[in-house]
Chains A and B, each alone.
Chain A
Amino acid sequence: MVVALSEVPSDERVELVDVPDDECRARLLRLGLLDGSVECRRRIRNGPVVVRRRGTEVALGRSLAREITVERAPRDGAPQ
């Protein structure tokens, strides 16, 4: 299922599949946030989204989070 990062609830694991802005993509790539899945640690309502990968926590601003498309990992166990 493909949605914007800004729509992902807290504590879900997602993969960032598309970051439209070249520079932002390069910056996230360097930090390792585009290597496989990241944990969406907290989504602040109408605010930034904090994602985490291997202990690296990065806050992404709301407008950026809206542009980023993510693939939601299927939940373990019962499908919703």
Chain B
Amino acid sequence: MRATEGADRGLGSGDAETSVALVGAPNAGKSALFGRLTAEYADVSNYPGTTVETTAAALGSLRLSDTPGVHGISSFSEAERVTRTAVLEADAVVNVVDATQLGRDLFVTLQLTDMGVPTVVALNMMDEAEADGVAIDVDALESALGVPVVPTVAVTGAGVDKLRDRLPEASAPESTPIDSYYDALPDGVDATRAEKTLLVEGDEPTARRVGVPGLATDGGDAPLAAVGEREAVYRERRTRVRSIVDDVERVAASERAPEERLGDLLLRPATGIPIALALLAAVFYVMGVVVAQRVVGYAEGVLFARYYTPAVEGVVAGLLPASGWAAPVEFLLVNDNLGLATVTVRYTLGVLLPLVVAFYLVIGTLEDAGVLPRLAVVTDRGLGRIGLSGRAVVPLIVGMGCVTMAVVSTRMVGSRRERLITTALLGLAIPCSAQIGVISGLLAELGVVWWGGYLAVLLGVLGTAGVALDRTLPGRRDALIEQLPRLRLPRPTNVARKTANRTAAFLGEAAPLFGATAAAVSTLDYVGALDAVVGALRPLTAALGLPASFGRVLVLGLIRRDFAAAGMTDLALSASQTFVGLVVVTLFVPCILTMAMVLRERGARSALLVWVGSWATAFAVGGGVAAVLEVIA
């Protein structure tokens, strides 16, 4: 019976398009290999977990897909689910094994062969293994595994041709020790060998799909009966891994590599925290000062204000007749708030483009060096207090440069729950650099005491909101189990290519979204809905002790945060009014670009939560501050 199961898998099966999936641990070199095997380029980095979706490209007549890195085929995380599905659907798998981590990575290899998935092993990073004094007997490994093994160095391309040649040899042993566990399954289970393996390992999605009576849980409440089985299967597999590694690997005693000493420095709080702070300060300086202020300032203030906008306005005025039906069209195209041909283009090319490029350059460099997971480790303790793990440190810092880009970087943060908390905190209490510029100007006029007060209010809100979300959101905090990649010198070509790819992908998605939002807001503006909003805000602004004109500031803030702060400079306000106004403006809703990104990354429900939550927090905290100031005064 088992013999027929294998017949529809493998590269010889052929009429429909044959698919091959690249599977392996995070950071084992799947994406680099993907780039070598095909003409396409997948994101390559030294940060585990950067591939969150599968990327596919043609490899001759085959379809090759890159998958998120995993340490096993199961469903413990979003990445694992994606990879499990890809493995179950593929005709064959190229299992990328990090030669320096043989003892870790062979677990996946043996799991694949247990599942009966036709496999070729790419034994990658052979150069680093050699440098480490690790010698691997490739022939012995091949016969122990029962599948082809090809040594490769993906970043240089060594061994890649051989790997391509041997792809048709992808195979799996007829039977493996896993067979004895299948007896535990109920009789008459209609499942492939791959599915049976996942079933004895207690994989719930597989149980639900196959519909095993007694194994599948209807409500999802009772755990799968096979958890004990999973442990036995995993332990048995680890035993096989150990014996293979003992047979094929020889490790010469080697000296401590310099990068290891650097790794030590990063992990020791006394040195790691200053290094982390210095890196974060550098990130903030590049993103927040050099790019967000100088480059963007030049692009907006000179390139667009002096040349582009007047030219476009001239063209539009020349093309359209002066009256009648053309008025709304002209408004849509060139209005000062969000004109499609003027302000929208200026935001996309003059503001977003430089920030996106800078962001991907900085993040790409840190990823390539393998620094990010270590930053996460040193900051884990502090961020744990507000319901986050150390992985959230990068989004929070990037947020002080540009909250929009920070929302994109929340992908690095582990679970959905944690991503939502990070996004909410970003939207709520992290002022972006554009805003920080205007705000510091206004606070400087008030004096240092107000400055301290402002910081205290913001940090208080950040902490309170973090703790509140951590307590109220369903689920529990993820345990941090973070694999630390080895430190490497960043490769400039790699970083540059990655930046170009990601920037193009990002703008391709963000620009149309932003254009549509801009058109919608302009329409509301034209029909007078925005003025109605200003009117409706009057009771709220009055409750804060602020003039009605502050409502106009807030409406501007719906579009862009620094507009709101800048709008305040035109109002004649007392010191305490300015302070209250600044607190409200900072806590108020994120800019329209950020909201577009939250919508894309987190979905409508989260976007609504962030948006409504920002309104509520801004007015509640602003009102509280106003009341306190009144008592003091």
Contacts and interface: CB of A to CB of B under 8 A. Distances in A.
Contacts of B381: 44-48, 62
A45 B235 CA distance: 32
B198 to A, nearest CB: 13
Interface in B321-380: 373, 376-378, 380
Contacts of A55: 100-101, 132
A60 B479 CA distance: 8
A47 B378 CA distance: 7
A13 B592 CA distance: 53
Interface in A33-72: 34-35, 41-42, 44-48, 50, 53-64
Contacts of A44: 267, 269, 377-378, 380-381
- Grouping DSSP codes into helix (H, G, I), strand (E, B) and loop, the B interface class, with mixed when no group exceeds half, is helix
A75 interface: no
Interface residues of B, number: 40
B483 A58 contact: yes
Interface residues of A, number: 34
B378 A58 contact: no
B377 A50 contact: yes
B36 interface: no
A60 B481 contact: yes
A6 B72 CA distance: 26
Contact of A59 (B227, B241, B268, B377): B377
Contacts of A29: 231, 234-235, 238
B623 interface: no
Contacts of A53: 103
Contacts of B484: 50, 57-59
Contact of B107 (A32, A42, A62): A32
Nearest to B201: A26
B264 interface: yes
B615 to A, nearest CB: 34
B250 to A, nearest CB: 13
Nearest to B71: A30
Contacts of B373: 59
A65 to B, nearest CB: 9
Given A45-B269, A56-B104, A61 B132 contact: no
A20 to B, nearest CB: 11
Given A26-B76, A30-B107, A55-B132, A63 B479 contact: yes
Contact of A48 (B104, B227, B480): B480
A76 interface: no
A42 B270 CA distance: 12
B104 A32 contact: yes
Contacts of A54: 101, 103-104
A21 B101 CA distance: 25
A44 to B, nearest CB: 6
A48 B230 contact: no
A66 B264 CA distance: 22
A54 B71 CA distance: 16
Given A27-B76, A50-B484, A62 B238 contact: no
B482 A59 contact: yes
B35 interface: no
Contacts of A59: 373, 376-377, 380, 480-482, 484
B380 A31 contact: no
A4 interface: no
A41 B267 contact: yes
A48 B390 contact: yes
A73 interface: no
B384 interface: yes
B136 to A, nearest CB: 13
27 contacts: A21-B479, A22-B227, A27-B76, A27-B481, A28-B481, A29-B234, A29-B235, A32-B103, A32-B104, A32-B238, A32-B242, A34-B238, A35-B238, A42-B268, A44-B380, A46-B381, A48-B390, A50-B484, A55-B100, A59-B376, A60-B479, A61-B380, A61-B384, A62-B380, A63-B479, A64-B480, A64-B481
Interface of B: 71-72, 74, 76, 100-101, 103-104, 107, 132, 223, 227, 230-231, 234-235, 238, 241-242, 263-264, 267-269, 373, 376-378, 380-381, 384, 389-390, 477, 479-484
Closest 7 CB pairs of A and B: A61-B480, A47-B381, A57-B484, A64-B479, A59-B482, A59-B377, A30-B72
